[in-house]
Amino acid sequence: LGRSSSSSGRFKAGRRGSTMNAIQNLPEHQKPELMRNLETMQLRDSLRMYNHLVEICFADCVRGFRSKALDAKEETCVSSCAEKYIKLTQRVGYRFAEHQAAQGAPPSS
């Protein structure tokens, strides 16, 4: 992920700072609603990720419907697929957080 120029980096950091100030300056009676909305958005994102994981791993691993249960090969495939997906998702999250932190850090001279 590339670094932005120092002027745009300061702009983005300033904009993020003003957003945080706006949240902190939110009237107390509106904060619970904001928190509920954030929790709802996080739940929606988690369910979307889970559904995507199921779709990918099912399509890649399940080959037949001869029985209710997965056979040993399918079960191994699904476990491996889910593990890879979760690790990839975590890695992307960490990289995004690093990128966000770099954007908010003062430019190095």
Spans in the chain with pLDDT lower than 50 = 1-15, 109
SS3 17: helix
Say whether pTM exceeds 0.75: no
Instruction: Count each helix (H run) and each strand (E run) in the chain, helices first.
Output: 3, 0
What pLDDT was estimated at residue 57?
A: 95
Closest CA relative to residue 104, chosen from 1, 15, 2: 15
Whether 57 contacts 78, CB under 8 Å: yes
Alpha carbon distance 58, 70 (integer Å): 11
